[in-house]
């Protein structure tokens, strides 16, 4: 024990002290939202992970403490503060941007929400979350708090996580975790769909045991589930092998999770557990579900053989399951399943079985499409450079063009099936711009309309604008520009392919 403690401390030293930028040495991003501006971060008591303030991840919203009656020592420090996004109307989007990720890698993203009457209104809000340019889930905050988690492939080297005001209260957030997985994990999650966590259960664990990092190297959280009226607990201190021996273990439930299991007290009863299908929403009309059931034999004292059924129908092509002695077997649905209202998984002993069924752990996810495509990196960096140069406020957060109904104010985009959207119009008329005309404008290759009228722009019109192939309208009315009009632009106005408005 002493040695283990020491190792842990050494490890914490590395994870905490050596970290620079947004991602720590494990590739983790751990954000405590709403920390006061003078607090950079701290090491979390439970996980020994270093949590940082959200300052570098978002530039909107305000910090709040939970109201005094909720600030009990029993609730971890991470829950003491929130960042909230008041003042927005329905449709307003506020986005965190996490950088330095690995493009194309699968990540677990987890957001936590504990309201704690931070605003003194005692009114629990409902709002939406988006992951990148896609709807993730609707958050209906309860008094006890809500955790939302998704497993998703991150298309670029940065990722937006946005809170969307849906007209039912002010969005807020307490924490945001990003954890890299390996791409062979959770094969259902890919470029076109993500897995939204419904539950991740550690059967037979005691009520207060939440297994996560470091026992789970990906920091998934495994919640305990026991019921001493109907289930008895079986456990072992022996090592339970991962099925990784064949190189194809795609889930890796952690050891302490696999070391406990449940079995029915009445040995002729099945084990069953149920969950309700989500109410259909316009964002995700009828979600399908996938699940992973993790088994290992912990008490090999006879024949244990059981069928698995879903809503009374055999699952697993009518085969039966016999968990291996101290070795993990994971059975999972390869495709999303769509049932009507309720999902009921039942494990029933076969006639030949001398032992009742057993289960160690289960994960249940709903599937969401992630088919909206983000604006290209080139256009995003061009428009971001324009935003920085002119310090544009407006609602310029998240992806500039996607999703369609969240396009940045003053931007017009065109959308084509299965290719990224393109910026076709930029209107920064009367926006208080000063300085010269940004050379990044010429990187918006699809630009047709550019209105920079009624600002204080100085210098000359860049030659490079004449290389925009689709430009048909250019308005520089009322600025402080000087110099001559580039000849190529002049030529296009003369042949009628470009309307140029220009009153110095």
CA gyration radius, the chain:
27
Site map 405..434 versus ligand NAG, x via CB under 6 A: ----------------------x-x--x--
Q: What is the DSSP string of 282-334?
A: SSSSS--EEEEEEE-BS--SS-B-EEEEETTEE-STT-EE--BBTB-EEEE-S
Q: How far apart are CA 402 and CA 164, in angstroms?
A: 13
Q: Which of 151, 87, 136, 79 is nearest to 113 (CA)?
A: 79
Residue 501 near ligand NAG by CB under 6 A: no
What is the token pair recorded at 418? 């299965």
Q: How far apart are CA 30 and CA 44, in angstroms?
A: 10
Q: How far apart are CA 498 and CA 489, in angstroms?
A: 8
2: enclosing H helix or E strand: helix 2-17
Site map 452..491 versus ligand NAG, x via CB under 6 A: --xxx----------------x------------------
Q: What is the CA angle 276-340-197, rounded to 5? A: 40
Find the binding residues for ligand NAG in span 172-201 (CB under 6 A).
none
Q: How far is the CA of 301 from the CAs of 19, 235, 241, 342, 353, in angstroms?
A: 49, 14, 19, 35, 11
Q: What is the DSSP string of 46-63?
A: TT-PEEEESGGG-SSSEE
Site map 200..229 versus ligand NAG, x via CB under 6 A: ---------------------------x-x
What is the token pair recorded at 375? 């604006």
Contact segment (CB under 6 A) with ligand NAG among 329-337, 370-378, 388-396, 451-459 equals 451-459
Residue 12 near ligand NAG by CB under 6 A: no
Residue number, 143 or 488, with CB nearest to ligand NAG? 143
Find the binding residues for ligand NAG in span 334-363 (CB under 6 A).
344, 346, 350-352
Site map 139..168 versus ligand NAG, x via CB under 6 A: -x----------------------------
Residue 120 near ligand NAG by CB under 6 A: no
Q: How far apart are CA 383 and CA 236, in angstroms?
A: 57
Residue 331 near ligand NAG by CB under 6 A: no
Which one of residues 25, 65, 67, 384 is an interface residue with ligand NAG (CB under 6 A)?
Answer: 65
Q: Which of 328, 286, 341, 330 is nearest to 308 (CA)?
A: 330
Residue number, 157 or 249, with CB nearest to ligand NAG? 249
Contact segment (CB under 6 A) with ligand NAG among 211-219, 268-276, 358-366, 415-423 equals 268-276
Residue 17 near ligand NAG by CB under 6 A: no
Which parts of this chain interact with ligand NAG (CB under 6 A)? 36, 42, 45, 63-65, 77, 126, 140, 227, 229-230, 238, 246-248, 266, 268-269, 272, 274, 300, 309, 312, 314, 317-318, 325-326, 344, 346, 350-352, 427, 429, 432, 449, 451, 454-456, 473
């Amino acid at each position: 024990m002493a040695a283990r403690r020491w190792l842990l401390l050494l490890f914490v030293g590395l994870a905490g002290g050596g970290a620079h930028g947004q991602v720590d040495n494990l590739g983790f991003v751990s954000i405590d939202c709403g920390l006061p501006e003078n607090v950079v971060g701290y090491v979390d008591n439970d996980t020994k992970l270093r949590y940082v303030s959200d300052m570098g991840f978002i530039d909107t919203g305000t910090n709040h403490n939970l109201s005094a009656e909720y600030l009990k020592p029993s609730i971890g420090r991470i829950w003491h503060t929130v960042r909230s996004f008041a003042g927005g109307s329905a449709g307003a989007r506020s986005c965190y941007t996490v950088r330095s990720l690995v493009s194309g890698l699968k990540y677990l993203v987890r957001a936590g929400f504990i309201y704690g009457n931070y605003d003194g209104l005692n009114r629990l809000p409902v709002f939406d979350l988006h992951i990148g340019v896609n709807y993730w889930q609707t958050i209906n905050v309860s008094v006890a708090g809500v955790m939302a988690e998704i497993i998703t492939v991150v298309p670029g080297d940065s990722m937006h996580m946005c809170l969307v005001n849906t007209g039912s209260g002010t969005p807020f957030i307490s924490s945001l975790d990003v954890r890299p997985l390996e791409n062979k994990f959770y094969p259902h999650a890919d470029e076109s769909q993500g897995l939204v966590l419904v539950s991740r259960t550690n059967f037979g664990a005691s009520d207060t045991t939440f297994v996560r990092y470091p026992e789970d190297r990906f920091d998934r959280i495994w919640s305990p589930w026991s019921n001493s009226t109907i289930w008895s607990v079986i456990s072992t201190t022996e090592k339970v092998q991962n099925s990784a021996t064949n190189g194809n273990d795609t889930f890796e439930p952690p050891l302490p999770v696999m070391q406990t299991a449940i079995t029915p007290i009445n040995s002729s009863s099945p084990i069953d557990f149920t969950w309700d299908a989500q109410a259909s929403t316009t964002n995700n009309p009828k979600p399908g579900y996938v699940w992973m059931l993790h088994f290992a034999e912990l008490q090999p004292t006879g024949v244990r053989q059981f069928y698995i059924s879903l809503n009374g129908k055999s699952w697993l092509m009518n085969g039966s399951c016999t968990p291996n002695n101290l070795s993990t077997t994971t059975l999972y649905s390869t495709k999303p399943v769509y049932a009507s209202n309720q999902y009921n998984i039942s494990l029933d002993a076969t006639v030949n079985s001398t032992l009742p069924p057993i289960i160690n752990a289960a994960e249940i996810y709903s599937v969401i499409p992630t088919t909206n495509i983000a604006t290209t990196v080139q256009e995003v960096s061009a428009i971001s450079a324009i935003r920085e140069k002119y310090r544009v406020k407006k609602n310029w957060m998240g992806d500039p063009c996607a999703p369609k109904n969240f396009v940045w104010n003053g931007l017009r985009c065109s959308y084509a099936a299965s290719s990224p959207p393109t910026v076709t119009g930029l209107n920064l008329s009367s926006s208080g711009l000063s300085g010269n005309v940004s050379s990044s404008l010429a990187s918006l290759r699809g630009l047709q309309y550019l209105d920079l009228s009624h600002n204080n722009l100085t210098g000359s019109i860049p030659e490079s604008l004449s290389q925009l192939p689709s430009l048909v309208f250019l308005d520089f009315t009322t600025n402080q520009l000087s110099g001559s009009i580039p000849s190529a632009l002049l030529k296009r106005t003369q042949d009628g392919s470009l309307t140029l408005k220009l009153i110095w």
